[in-house]
């Protein structure tokens, strides 16, 4: 480690307090760690890495934020596919629903809304 003075003349140790891991180590000391069961990565147990969950004993969700977001997006994609299939089936079988959808599309087209 090399000591040097900054612009104010204060002593500064090169490399100290500049690591991107300093805050992570502090969080580990303060909050402990938790391992995500999905990805297996051990992370500091804080709201930066895990969503809040009032039902869990420590108030944080069991999965890390990245894994939870990835899983929720996949569920959303699956739900969209199921919802679209139901809508197509209803459109084909229910004339009243079909007319309602056509009228709504016509109103939107007249307004010029994309």
Nearest C-alpha neighbor of 46 from the set 67, 56, 32, 25: 32
Range scoring the smallest mean pLDDT among 41-45, 48-52, 63-67, 110-114: 110-114
Is pLDDT of 27 > 90?
no
Does 1 have pLDDT greater than 50? no
Cβ pair 36, 28 in contact under 8 A: no
Task: Inform me whether the pLDDT recorded for 111 exceeds 80.
Answer: no
Q: What is the pLDDT of residues 51-92, one digit of tens each?
A: 888 888 888 888 999 999 999 999 988 889 999 999 999 999
Q: Are 12 and 3 in contact (CB under 8 A)?
A: yes
> Mind listing the pLDDT tens digit for each residue in 15-25?
445 555 566 66
Domain residue ranges in the chain: 3-111
Burial level of 12, CB count in 10 A (0-12/13-18/19+)?
Answer: middle
Q: Is the pLDDT of residue 13 over 50?
A: no
């Amino acid at each position: 480690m090399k000591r040097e003075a900054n612009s104010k003349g204060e002593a500064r140790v090169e490399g100290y307090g500049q690591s991107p891991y300093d805050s992570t180590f502090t969080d580990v000391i303060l909050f402990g760690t938790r391992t995500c069961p999905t990805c297996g990565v051990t992370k500091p147990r804080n709201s930066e890495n895990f969503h809040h969950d009032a039902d869990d004993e420590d108030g944080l969700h069991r999965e890390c934020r990245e894994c939870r977001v990835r899983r929720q997006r996949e569920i959303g994609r699956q739900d969209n596919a199921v919802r679209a299939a139901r809508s197509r089936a209803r459109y084909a079988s229910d004339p009243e629903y079909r007319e309602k959808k056509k009228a709504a599309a016509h109103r939107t087209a007249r307004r010029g809304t994309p």
